[in-house]
């Protein structure tokens, strides 16, 4: 039955390979189970509720991907999207987490419409490739900054705005060691390097507290008295429905939220699915990936499920390349990933106790490094492109806002293109976006 459905022979794989590939990819992206509750808790959401929402929505989304698209791709709340959700939509824009979930639900519905209507190619043609790369890299810098700040390596300073913290502090020292361990694992090309780096850091933190170094600090990892549970925190389930009342009271604010979420989701998903599709051999000589429409549909459904369960946008993970690298070629790989996410619900106290901000800082920094690497593909010979990408990155970090960074990048690109006398090359989409971002920056929607 599995052979007939997934076509193992046609895809040069077998049952054993698919299961191992699924387990490998799960380990590569399992860090999100610890990182996501930590990040969304900064937006006022209960960590236990976020953990349940993360695990259940990721599990369901992966199974949908496996059955509908038959792609060996894992899905979970996206890194970068969770930062946009917490630090921009909630903290900077002043929305409640219920409103942010409602915006996530609507943006996922918009992405679903884009996926089934054929608008994807048209939208892709509006945005210059270099600007897409710059936005992705900017989010990488932003994530790294969040990680360094969360553990005290970077602290506020009234004289210099920011400075380095005291590295001898238990939480800071643990985070620093964790970053170095994870980096070494990554350089050595150890499969699931980020996950095993976090696990090693968590174990080291427990050893620290056992010998009295950092004991009692909430940021230090601990082993809970009851690591296994059957209690599930469903407090965030359908919480997005309570946000609709506030969502439509400020239409400009709504437009900004939806645009930012759809934009980041769209290009993050497109880049990820095209990358893994090419690695699987699904992309033909014309650049078309076989079955990618169903993969986009699965991703959009995952975002809707995530918002209903109570988390930021669920999307495809580029770390799926780890499982693909050892032979995963069919949807069974994704189904195995989904089952592992669902099983993780029962060890939520253990994961929440071990993966504190001092531990998860390493994941944010290393994922940031991976995202920044795409800057090598930017056309730095063009002054317009270079200045647009530079301002996108630096304003995203310094303003502590992903959407503000995107706005600066678009405006710089539009103004630079006009200054070169090439305004006729700008399509209507760029003009519309430029006007929207001018209003956004000057009037603070």
What is the model's pLDDT at position 444? 58
The answer to whether position 313 is within a domain reads yes
How many DSSP H helices and E strands does the chain contain? 20, 4
Domain count, the chain: 1
Write the DSSP string, 89-133: IIIIT---HHHHHHHHHHHHHHHHHHHHHT-HHHHHHHS-HHHHH
pLDDT at 271 over 80: no
The answer to whether position 308 is within a domain reads yes
pLDDT at 405 over 70: yes
What is the model's pLDDT at position 97? 96
Query: Could you tell me the CA-to-CA distances from 38 to 69, 174, 311, 352 in Å, in that order?
Result: 31, 17, 12, 9
Query: Could you tell me the CA-to-CA distances from 217 to 60, 196, 212, 327 in Å, in that order?
Result: 35, 23, 11, 43
Q: Domain range for residue 269? A: 2-378
pLDDT at 1 over 80: no
233-246 pLDDT per residue, tens: 999 999 999 999 88
Per DSSP bridges, beta strands 154-157 and 314-316 are unpaired
pLDDT at 277 over 60: yes
- The per-residue pLDDT of the chain, averaged, comes to 88
The answer to whether position 435 is within a domain reads no
122-165 pLDDT per residue, tens: 776 677 778 878 887 887 888 888 889 888 899 998 888 899 99
349-365 pLDDT per residue, tens: 988 888 888 888 888 88
Do 3 and 329 touch, CB atoms closer than 8 A?
Answer: no
The answer to whether position 181 is within a domain reads yes
150-207 pLDDT per residue, tens: 888 999 988 888 999 999 999 999 999 999 999 999 899 887 788 888 889 999 999 9
The answer to whether position 409 is within a domain reads no
Beta bridge partners of 162: 156
Extended strands (E) in 3-47: none
The answer to whether position 390 is within a domain reads no
Extended strands (E) in 43-85: 75-77
| Cα torsion 206, 209, 213, 216: sign | positive
332-352 pLDDT per residue, tens: 999 999 999 999 999 989 888
Per DSSP bridges, beta strands 154-157 and 161-164 are antiparallel
- The pTM of the whole model exceeds 0.75: yes
Q: What is the mean pLDDT of residues 229-233?
A: 87
Q: Say if residue 421 is exposed, middle or buried (CB neighbours under 10 Å; 0-12, 13-18, 19+).
A: exposed
Eight-class DSSP state of 65: I
SS3 251: helix
The answer to whether position 252 is within a domain reads yes
Structure tokens at 218: 């909430």
The answer to whether position 398 is within a domain reads no
pLDDT at 320 over 90: no
What is the model's pLDDT at position 370? 80
Percentage above 90 pLDDT, the chain: 44
Beta bridge partners of 163: 155
Per DSSP bridges, beta strands 75-77 and 154-157 are unpaired
Sequence-separated (6 or more) residues with CB below 8 Å from residue 4: none
More confident residue, 394 or 267: 394
Percentage above 70 pLDDT, the chain: 96
pLDDT at 282 over 90: no
378-387 pLDDT per residue, tens: 999 999 999 9
């Amino acid at each position: 039955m599995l052979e007939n459905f997934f076509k193992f022979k046609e895809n040069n794989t077998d049952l054993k390979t698919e299961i191992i590939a699924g387990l490998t990819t799960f380990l590569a992206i399992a860090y999100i189970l610890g990182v996501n509750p930590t990040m969304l808790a900064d937006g006022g959401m209960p960590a236990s509720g976020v953990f349940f929402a993360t695990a259940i929505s990721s599990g369901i989304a992966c199974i949908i991907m496996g059955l509908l698209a038959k792609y060996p791709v894992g899905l979970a709340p996206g890194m970068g999207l969770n930062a946009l959700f917490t630090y921009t939509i909630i903290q900077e824009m002043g929305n409640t987490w219920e409103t942010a979930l409602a915006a996530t639900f609507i943006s996922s519905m918009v992405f679903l419409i884009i996926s089934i209507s054929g608008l994807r190619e048209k939208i892709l043609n509006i945005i210059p490739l270099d600007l897409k790369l710059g936005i992705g890299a900017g989010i990488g810098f932003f994530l790294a900054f969040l990680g360094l700040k969360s553990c005290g390596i970077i602290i506020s300073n009234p004289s210099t705005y920011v400075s380095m913290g005291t590295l001898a502090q238990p939480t800071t020292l643990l985070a620093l060691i964790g970053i170095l361990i994870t980096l070494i694992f990554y350089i050595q090309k150890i499969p699931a390097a980020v996950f095993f780096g976090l696990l090693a850091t968590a174990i080291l933190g427990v050893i620290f507290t056992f010998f009295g170094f950092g004991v009692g600090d909430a940021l230090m990892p601990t082993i809970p008295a009851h690591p296994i549970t059957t209690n599930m925190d469903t407090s965030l389930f359908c919480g997005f429905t309570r946000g609709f009342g506030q969502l439509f009271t400020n239409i400009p604010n709504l437009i900004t939220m939806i645009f930012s979420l759809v934009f980041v989701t769209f290009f993050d998903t497109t880049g990820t699915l095209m990358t893994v599709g090419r690695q699987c051999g699904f992309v033909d000589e014309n650049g078309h990936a076989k079955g990618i429409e169903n993969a986009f549909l699965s991703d959009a459904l995952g975002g809707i499920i995530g918002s209903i369960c109570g988390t930021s946008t669920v999307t495809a993970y580029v770390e799926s390349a780890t499982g693909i690298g050892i032979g995963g070629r069919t949807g069974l790989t994704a189904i195995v990933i989904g089952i592992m996410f669902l099983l993780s619900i029962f060890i939520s106290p253990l994961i929440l106790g071990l993966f504190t901000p001092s531990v998860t800082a390493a994941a944010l920094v290393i994922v940031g490094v991976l995202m920044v690497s795409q800057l090598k593909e930017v056309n730095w010979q063009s002054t317009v492109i270079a200045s647009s990408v530079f301002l996108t990155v630096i304003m995203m970090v310094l303003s502590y806002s992903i959407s503000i960074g995107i706005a600066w990048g678009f405006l710089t690109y539009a103004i630079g293109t006009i200054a070169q006398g090439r305004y006729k090359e700008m399509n209507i989409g760029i003009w519309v976006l430029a006007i929207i971002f001018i209003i956004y920056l000057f009037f603070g929607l």
